[in-house]
Chains A and B, each alone.
Chain A
Amino acid sequence: MSTAQHAEPAVNTPPAPGPKETDGRAVQRTLTLRVLARPDVGVFLGAAAVYVFFLISAPPVRDAGSMANILYQSSTIGIMALPVALLMIGGEFDLSAGVAVITSALTASMLSYQLTANVWVGVIAALVVSLGIGFLNGWLVVKTGLPSFLVTLGSFLILQGVNLAVTKLVTGNVATDDISDMDGFDQARKLFASSFDIGGVQVKITIFWWLLFAAIATWVLLRTRYGNWTFAVGGNKDSSRAVGVPVAFTKISLFMLVGFGAWFVGMHQLFSFSTVQSGEGVGQELIYISAAVIGGCLLTGGAGSAIGPVFGAFMFGMVQQGIVYAGWNPDWFKAFLGVMLLGAVLINLWVQRTATGR
């Protein structure tokens, strides 16, 4: 019962059918089970468990400033985990998501610098490039019918090479030039990488963007036709085509959404660090996918939510920073991270099994 209260804010569960026709006890039991059966409740409990664990074992976590730092780390993962999750619900993968972030940042930075243009020119060009990469990925997947795992593995490698080669070609170095003294930088920094003072705590703007995007994604998934299409193409492509779902459009636009996410995170990195190293971003794609999977998205598509990956990303950020706040022996860092994540996923699985398994 107490679990039910905990899980209740897990949004948008349509209210249980009127409690009038049965006695209280039976209804509450089914309600508990119904709530637990939601894909995002397991991850919510897992995230809560990790949070409580570190609250006890790492005193600095209790400080509000530390929480802002943990949320910041989570937001940079979470903003990308959202479109990656939507794409997974739609039945596809994007392995190029990690390096695409850097591609976007490099494009904006080098274009503005080389043309000595207002940085907004670079920002818009980067958006076009990012959406274009998403479009190409999606178009190739739809047209060839190849698994997106293979197609995007290809684009992952291509982008990795292009990032390095083009940067070297254009700048002569492997990192871009500092653009922090150029026109428009401060403006763009406000939008992508500023922080606010809330009750004496510096809170990064990415956290707000993350939650806003999550809210929009939730609404789209559950309340719009596009959301239905997403679930449908991920569940069964052929039957959804048969009932008139525009499969190609849905899939390609989902890939383009990942492109949008990559652009946003890329701009955040550019405007908070002023330069970009061309070799970064490799390996991040797996973290985004993990956050989505921990958040209850199936690897096979057709199921998941937008709120689940929010908690998934939070769990990642919490564990990563929590280990540092707890001051544990850093040699074990990666091992701790793995054990904590596995534990959290197991809780998630167990909750879903108990809720749906009878």
Chain B
Amino acid sequence: MHRNHRVAVLTATVLTGTLLAAGCSSSSGGKKSEEGNAAVSAGKATTPRMTVAMVTHASPGDTFWDLVRKGAQAAAAKDNIKLVYSSDPNAGNQASLVQNAIDQKVAGIALTAAKPAAMKDVVAKATAAGIPVVGFNSGVGDWKKLGMLEYFGQDENIAGQAFGRRLNQLGAKHALCVIQEQGQVALEARCAGLRKGFSGKTDTLYVNGTDMPSVKSTITAKLKQDSSIDQVVTLGAPIALTAVQSLSDAGSKAKLATFDLNKDLVKAVQDGTVEFAVDQQPYLQGYLAVDSLWLYKTNGNFSGGSTAPVLTGPAFIDKTNVDTVAKFAANGTR
């Protein structure tokens, strides 16, 4: 009885909600304001169907990794490849996923080596089983040693240095490098590179990237603690967008620049709240990693002669070139 009553109330509420939805439409924004955007598509190869595994160290729900995956899927669709995507931020688990792909006898493996030592054994096993392994995104210093065929990505340290030199040009004196995941190799490398390339002072700040209100107030706290900070550097697009609010909360006049892009960040660059963004083109990384395996399998090609990595970044996006990127970002592919 008790329960029936509750169910009735629930149903009534849901119904009311639906009715409201019909009546209370928004006159601005929303789905209706979206421009018709065509999905990226091109022809399809006639080569025999094959399976490629992509194994990354991404944590679920990250906008950056979503782009990597979309790029990989685009290449797979073109190349008549069945893409098996999996990820785990824990290096041991990631190695198990690679082993899983070897067991499935896939035609090729694309993987990120954020913790190269953990990948050593499985990469050797894959190579022994005759499965080509391509590295991307992380592990620029180790892919050769691990015996991978080729590598697509950005050298995080070099990107950090380039970022620092750009800040020198812009006249910054004291930078704050905000790391959203303490101990993450790629993020630490960016801040280390920044410190190297930047002639001013660089401070590091750790924030908890899974809790935005905490990110917001921690950056605010740091800006208040040290008012000489005139440049905030974030290492991910969502963190940058939150830092915009911290700057206004703290009443700070510091400038803001970031690594990585997403569509909201593109808008922020357009309206000037974010000075510039360094893009390593995650879509391109995913695309090339899969497409290169197809080329290797069908024509024996590989990039960089097994000695040099293929760099996908750093590409600087600022007010001068943001508009060319904007329409792709709105599609969720850049």
Contacts and interface: CB of A to CB of B under 8 A. Distances in A.
Interface of A: 58, 60, 63, 65-66, 69-70, 72-73, 76, 111-121, 124-125, 128, 132, 135, 160, 163-164, 167-168, 172-175, 178-184, 202, 249, 268-269, 272-275, 277-284, 317, 320-321, 324-327, 330, 333-334
Closest 8 CB pairs of A and B: A279-B61, A116-B30, A181-B29, A118-B24, A182-B29, A183-B26, A73-B217, A76-B213
Nearest to B332: A173
B64 to A, nearest CB: 9
Contacts of A334: 182, 206
Contacts of B141: none
A183 B28 contact: yes
A183 B27 contact: yes
Contacts, number: 176
A113 B26 CA distance: 9
B226 A327 contact: yes
Interface string B187-219: 000000000000000001110101111101110
B321 interface: no
A277 B63 contact: yes
Given A72-B217, A73-B217, A116-B31, A173 B63 contact: yes
A330 to B, nearest CB: 5
Contacts of B206: 330, 333-334
Contacts of A179: 29-30
Nearest to A132: B10
B225 A327 contact: yes
16 contacts: A65-B250, A66-B224, A117-B20, A118-B26, A128-B17, A168-B66, A174-B62, A174-B65, A175-B63, A183-B25, A183-B29, A249-B2, A272-B216, A277-B212, A280-B61, A321-B218
Contacts of B20: 117-118, 120-121, 124
B59 interface: yes
Given A115-B31, A121-B20, A269-B212, 7 more contacts: A60-B225, A118-B26, A174-B61, A184-B24, A277-B61, A284-B210, A325-B225
Interface string B232-252: 000000100110010001110
A155 to B, nearest CB: 17
